[in-house]
A and B are shown apart, each in its own frame.
Chain A
């Protein structure tokens, strides 16, 4: 391999399989005789459950079992709190099946197992539950009032957590400020809506005692550990596989969804494979959501525009339960100062229980809300001081020489102080200004207005802490027969192309083709140390772990090859699937080296025959394996980041608002982003474009709607408007590559980046377009035609 794979636009290994329709998603796994699950779900947002009569359902032909909280043994318990934090008292988590009370519409109350899903749904309708509905308050700002009905009796004012963080000396700085800008903003609730809904299938082999679970999860290792603990099985007897997974975006990492426990339990009870294939409606009412936050942010500035202090107080809707702790609110609060120097920060949040679908991170995880707050405030500050929106940012962006910038006192989701490690923020801003030809935009805008068209320019900057710990691992083995390289790691892919980017990392070290590196992940039998895919961490954490392992295997390969070729190790190079003596045609294939390093004496294949043509791979006396020596070319290593590494970017758009239709058309969308060294720019761009499309959804289309009784009234794709190709703009992407100083590959995460600033960009642009109408400010997303109409009508 003369060219480097790292950094190249390499096509994805996985694609041909997926393109031919040969993927293996959970519901594609053939399980003969499988039984199918349907749930009985609460139709009330808050209710007492007086009685559950399953008799008609249980007697329905084709029904194997109907479970309630009384018949699930050990599983009848509150599920784990994933991330405890002192700001929460008595944090509430959900039970697999409701006991006594129901807390949101869609909560699982009973589980029917039947011969097929059709029959299971028939029977679920026959379960008779006697409810006493209770009063509810859905609106976040009202839920904290004294008179609001409580979600949990244990939590007055529905407060789940309250937390204040301070960096610097905000009081002192505020006292000396010359100007204050105050903005109240709201980002509404959305959902990940992965194209494949969640799915769990399980089979229990009662002869071997092995439980196998296929779970469309982002965290199979954790699911395995939890299942073994709760079901009291030997960990080694439980195998959890996340096969192909059709998108996750954060929604598929929760320990546990009720089905993740109940399906394996039913498979063990019934002695038949059991499947739960979540449908779209269930994904809306039963799988977690994110976003609603209401921020009141104040920027304290000098007349020059230099912001000396920031105060932000926000409400965070956590839904009926808080299984993930305060992670989202914490990420929002620690990202609140964005890319700006702002040395003094006071940020407070109150996490509020509402009787709605529980909240866990969805792509962005608090960052879109924080970005919307600070960026809308920055725009307003600029206006109030008579400055241009680019200029206010120029005056506040962290300069290249100032890195690292420590925000002492703000603890990020990894429990460590925020430290912005590297970047070229100023350059990114200028790139955007140049690309959008900002200097000439005012004239263009004026010209368009004379022709009756209303153009606006929107922009927003974002930062993103990525690559959180604690750790991931990488295992690499060169196969002795084929010479192909097998790589394992503990996390999972939901479409990010791990099998290709990790292969690129390995290919360079071992001199093999990217397509000859085969990644197996998401299977606890293949590798069972690690955490999960979330928080834009796979490339950073697993990527570096795999890189470290590859270096060890490289060294082992070079050593063995030098022995076999009777050459100096410094003269060996790895390329084209073989080790070569530099400048000669003498080479030994990797397969032969891998075979020779395994002191097994059977020569049963070509690689073994080839190996005999060379000197021994190891030079030592005594037993076949020297003390401390391992057979084969194989290594496992781990990477544990010291702290998050911070990516960033700035987006801008030119859009046109039609005041008659109150519609918004994005005419140009430009993204400047920096995720450090790019392993595969094609995949990076794919992540960014996909993120922006989700951001467009959040900015203009996607809003989960609850009525005042807590019914989720748009639990379908007809009314929850995931954008089609017709709604998503063409995106121009410009890269900056500032290597992360924190890890060997110099990479930063990119998974969530795209979606973060889009809401702020659109609101900024609409505001700009409608300025001549005196339409005021846009401080809420999604920004809908009705909101534009209301703003114009009020002007």
Chain B
């Protein structure tokens, strides 16, 4: 399990990085490498060129501006997880982060990298979706912003163009008074989710945001459940109805870790638990 040969580029500026990425149709971005390198070691990925963005100016760090947590491309999972300002701004992120693999992986892997990798069972893409966040790809045609809802297309497929580098991910700050919860089930600690749910309950707006991963070919918003809960009192009956409605979001076929029927049952339980917990934290 050794990676295939590639051309290695280590640009210092974003302009160079974009040019190097655009310069070879087989080029890929290397950030933390925690998803890409295993795929290369297994020879499931053979990029002709790797553009290592770790030395690119301006791609490090986190800032909170205009109600958004701006996570730049080289921000490691662990950095975001431990950031106290981020925790105050949106505690859902830390709660979800505890489920992302293990600390040594989180020390190297980047949040934006995980979002671009877009595994259908991964936590961070789903949290971006749940919070109504967005990403900022930059390419030869310039910079654009894409909502999470439009970004994730399919398992490991996004609307990022091959010559674009996602330079930032934006996680909205949790609205004042909102409650949050992240519920996940894995067979083994740290693995990709069999199913996971993020819930944000905003009593003042009468809104409940729900997203799930592990259950379909991409992270999904549980819109049917959201509608049941919108503007209503979160009674046990209503929550139960919302939890049952969530099962229709499960499109994953039977696989080695879970049957479709079990995933539906599981998702329903996780939705109920997440909504109850989020509601209990709402003010």
Contact = CB atoms under 8 A, between A and B. Distances in A.
B266 A117 contact: no
Contact of A721 (B187, B259, B269): B187
A444 interface: no
B2 A714 contact: no
Contact of B1 (A125, A280, A719, A785): A280
A784 interface: yes
A705 B256 contact: yes
A789 B259 contact: yes
Given A719-B257, A721-B188, A724-B189, A786 B5 contact: no
Contact of B5 (A122, A716, A721, A726): A122
B256 A785 contact: no
A785 B258 contact: yes
A719 B261 contact: no
A662 B189 contact: no
Interface in B186-225: 187-192, 194
A790 B1 contact: no
B263 to A, nearest CB: 9
DSSP class of A's interface residues: helix, strand, loop or mixed? loop
17 contacts: A118-B3, A121-B2, A122-B4, A660-B269, A663-B185, A713-B256, A719-B256, A724-B188, A726-B190, A727-B188, A784-B187, A784-B257, A785-B262, A785-B266, A786-B261, A790-B261, A793-B265
A663 B187 CA distance: 8
Interface string B171-193: 00000000000000101111110
Contact of A281 (B1, B187, B194): B1
B42 interface: yes
Contacts of A280: 1
Interface string B86-118: 000000000000000000000000000000000
Interface string B1-19: 1111100000000000000
A713 B257 CA distance: 12
A196 to B, nearest CB: 14
Given A663-B185, A726-B189, A789 B269 contact: no
A786 B1 contact: no
B242 to A, nearest CB: 15
Contacts of B43: 121, 125
Given A661-B269, A714-B256, A785-B194, A790 B5 contact: no
A718 interface: yes
Interface of A: 117-118, 121-122, 125, 279-281, 660-663, 701, 703, 705, 713-714, 716, 718-719, 721, 723-724, 726-727, 784-786, 789-790, 793
Nearest to A705: B256
Interface of B: 1-5, 42-43, 185, 187-192, 194, 256-259, 261-262, 265-266, 269, 273
A784 B255 CA distance: 12
A714 B256 CA distance: 9
Contacts of B2: 117-118, 121
A121 to B, nearest CB: 5
Interface centre among B5, B188, B190 (most CB of A within 10 A): B188
Nearest to B4: A122
Nearest to A697: B188
Given A703-B256, A719-B256, A726-B189, 6 more contacts: A660-B266, A719-B257, A784-B187, A785-B194, A785-B266, A790-B261
Contacts of A718: 191-192
Contacts of A786: 257-259, 261-262
Contacts of B266: 660-662, 785, 789
Task: Give the top 9 A-B pairs by smallest Cβ distance, nearest first.
Answer: A726-B189, A660-B269, A789-B262, A279-B1, A118-B2, A786-B262, A786-B259, A705-B256, A721-B188
B273 to A, nearest CB: 8
A773 to B, nearest CB: 13
A703 B258 CA distance: 13
A386 B191 CA distance: 42
Nearest to B192: A718
Interface centre among A281, A701, A786 (most CB of B within 10 A): A786
A727 B265 contact: no
B3 A721 contact: no
Nearest to B194: A785
B265 A789 contact: yes
A169 B259 CA distance: 46
Contacts of A121: 2, 4, 43
Given A718-B191, A785-B187, A793 B261 contact: yes
Contact of B188 (A703, A716, A726): A726
Contact of A662 (B1, B5, B262, B273): B262
A659 B220 CA distance: 25
A719 B192 CA distance: 10
Contacts of A125: 43
B37 to A, nearest CB: 14
A401 B50 CA distance: 73
B117 to A, nearest CB: 14
B42 A716 contact: yes
A724 B101 CA distance: 12
Given A118-B2, A705-B256, A789-B265, A723 B188 contact: yes
Contacts of B191: 718, 721
B188 A790 contact: no
Nearest to B3: A118
Contacts of B259: 786, 789-790
Contacts of B258: 785-786
Contacts of B273: 660
A279 B41 CA distance: 10
Contacts of A793: 261, 265
Contacts of B185: 661, 663, 785
Nearest to A281: B1
A280 B257 CA distance: 20
A308 B266 CA distance: 45
B215 to A, nearest CB: 14
A724 B194 contact: no
A723 B186 CA distance: 12
A701 B187 CA distance: 8
A146 to B, nearest CB: 29
Nearest to B258: A786
Contacts of A716: 42
Contacts of B192: 718
A203 B141 CA distance: 58
A775 B192 CA distance: 28
A727 B269 contact: no
A44 B95 CA distance: 44
A721 B257 CA distance: 10
A705 B273 CA distance: 32
Contacts of A117: 2
Contacts of A789: 259, 261-262, 265-266
A392 B214 CA distance: 45
Contacts of B4: 121-122
Contacts of B265: 660, 662, 789, 793
A784 B194 CA distance: 12
Interface centre among A117, A661, A716 (most CB of B within 10 A): A661
A714 B273 CA distance: 31
Contacts of A714: 256
A121 B266 CA distance: 42
Contacts of A703: 256
B47 to A, nearest CB: 15
A67 to B, nearest CB: 20
Contacts of A723: 188
Contacts of A724: 188-190
Contacts of B188: 701, 721, 723-724, 726-727
A714 B187 CA distance: 15
A727 B186 CA distance: 11
A660 B195 CA distance: 13
A118 B273 CA distance: 48
Contacts of B3: 118
A793 B264 CA distance: 12
Contacts of B256: 703, 705, 713-714, 719
